Amino acid sequence: MAKTIKDKGPTKRLVDPKAIAKALGAEEPKFEIDTRRGPISLFSLRQFLVDRLRSTGGRPKLEGTTQKRNKIPLFSEDWEKLEEIAKYYRETEGINVSSGQIASALVHAEVSKIDTSKMKGKARSASK
């Protein structure tokens, strides 16, 4: 079993983000993405979508994806979030993107972080 380090030390008091947004005259965010892993993750998703969406006459195609549709079981709450994010991009940003394309972008971002060349044994050879 893997061990993880959990810091139980004291932290500074938290400032209420809603109060700060109001004080700065900012709009309330329509949705949020956990950006605590790095300050540019939300920025990257938006940029990835704008860079990769190509017009095909109908809904733009996400460049680099295949025609093949793979069936991936999703948790229902995740699908609801993906629909909410896609709706936000369509209605607020004017980016014509589907829930599936958001899922594709997020899966790509996470999978690309895994270096399979360092995997050894049967699992890697079986995938070839």
Partner 1 sequence: MIDDPVDVILAKLLGASEEASVQVLTLYIPNKDKDGKQIKGLTRWLKEARKVLTALGRGSTSMPPADGTWLNPESKEIIWEKTTIMYTYIDPDSFEENVGMLREFLHRFGRETNQGEVVFEFDGKFYRIRKYDQER
Please give the residue ranges that form the binding site for partner 1 (CB under 8 A): 1-15, 17, 20-21, 23-29, 32-36, 39-40, 42-43, 46-47, 50-51, 93-95
User: In whole angstroms, what is the distance from residue 30 CA to residue 88 CA?
Assistant: 7
> Cβ of residue 114: shortest distance to partner 1, in angstroms?
15
CA–CA dist 126, 123 (Å, integer): 5
Nearest approach, Cβ of residue 44 and partner 1 (Å): 9
Closer CB to partner 1, residue 120 or residue 128? Answer: 120
Contact status, residue 106 vs residue 97, Cβ threshold 8 Å = no
Q: Which H helix or E strand runs over 54? A: strand 53-54
Q: Which is nearer to partner 1, 67 or 94 (CB)?
A: 94
Q: Name which of 89 and 103 has its Cβ closer to partner 1.
A: 89
Shortest Å, Cβ 110 to partner 1 = 17
Helix axes 41-52, 99-111, angle to 10 degrees: 120
